[in-house]
A = this chain, B = another copy of it.
């Protein structure tokens, strides 16, 4: 016997690639298990306006490969108040909805936590490109974002090699350096600057200078926006070495594009898992994959824990980019 009969799903916060695949998995898994499912338009803002609609198999046809989210997202200040949260719980209850899957980042998780206090069973799915949510090795969208950065660096490399140039690429990641780390390791960047590790701009400039003298034909610095701006890093390098790196700020294209197969698979696994957890009566959990295993962790723990930075990968990147 399932602990929930009718559930809803919403996407919230910044969108990320694979959110649609997650919505699809929630809907199809729920239907497979005999539940009813509703979609909420525009996150918590839509919830407060009772902007819900029933979803069937076809509602999520042909969306697994689409970027963005068919449910749209929006910011919602009102939902940060107790009153807003109570109104949200009421809306769900008035429709007989007893379970909710929230796909988004930490702010979205907080909302799910609040609703669970008000009697709604909730599950959080990590939908953000930043990979900054703990208790999951990867967030939905991260793999695609890294692939976009790596593709951009591939392009830069061509033109830099022709000119013997340096490039600074600023990537997303306010609190997490993971996009910079993974993209930097994968693209053979000589320097990776992340919020989690202090950097020595003098050493960076000196190394770049030495490399060019030793015959290296290009040099790539990848910097997470949370550590410094690309322009600042470029200026600091110029001041110290005379080298004038080109700056690329990739911006929101990192959030777009068709999700990679990894993001689609991750989203599919997590969406299905969240439904099954709700059916088991679980609530207020953040779902994730750790070492290949599906896990559900108390949202309170998730939002109060800082995700550890992978120093092994960081050191490997240094070792291999000589």
Contact = CB atoms under 8 A, between A and B. Distances in A.
B322 A31 contact: yes
A130 interface: no
Contacts of A162: 11, 15, 19, 68-69, 72-73
A265 B67 contact: no
Interface residues of A, number: 81
Contacts of A156: 252-253, 256
Nearest to A72: B162
Interface in A246-282: 246-253, 255-258, 260-262, 264-265, 268-269, 272
Interface stretch (A80-88, A106-114, A183-191, A297-305): A183-191
A112 B92 CA distance: 54
A19 B159 CA distance: 11
Contacts of A66: 158
Interface stretch (A117-125, A146-154, A198-206): A146-154
Given A73-B163, A185-B268, A319-B32, A143 B262 contact: yes
A257 to B, nearest CB: 4
Work out how many copies of this chain go into the complex: 4
Interface in A227-249: 246-249
Contact of A249 (B157, B167, B182, B251): B251
A113 to B, nearest CB: 23
A257 B159 CA distance: 8
A160 B69 CA distance: 10
Given A29-B319, A320-B24, A74 B163 contact: yes
A183 to B, nearest CB: 7
Interface string A22-35: 00110011011000
Contacts of A185: 264-265, 268
Most B CB contacts (10 A, CB to CB) among A65, A167, A185 go to: A65
Contacts of A62: 157, 161, 217
A145 B74 CA distance: 33
Nearest 9 pairs between A and B by C-beta?
A155-B256, A67-B158, A186-B261, A291-B291, A15-B162, A68-B162, A158-B256, A68-B158, A248-B251
18 contacts: A14-B163, A15-B163, A32-B319, A32-B320, A57-B322, A72-B161, A74-B164, A137-B292, A147-B260, A148-B155, A152-B253, A156-B253, A182-B261, A183-B261, A187-B261, A265-B313, A272-B316, A291-B293
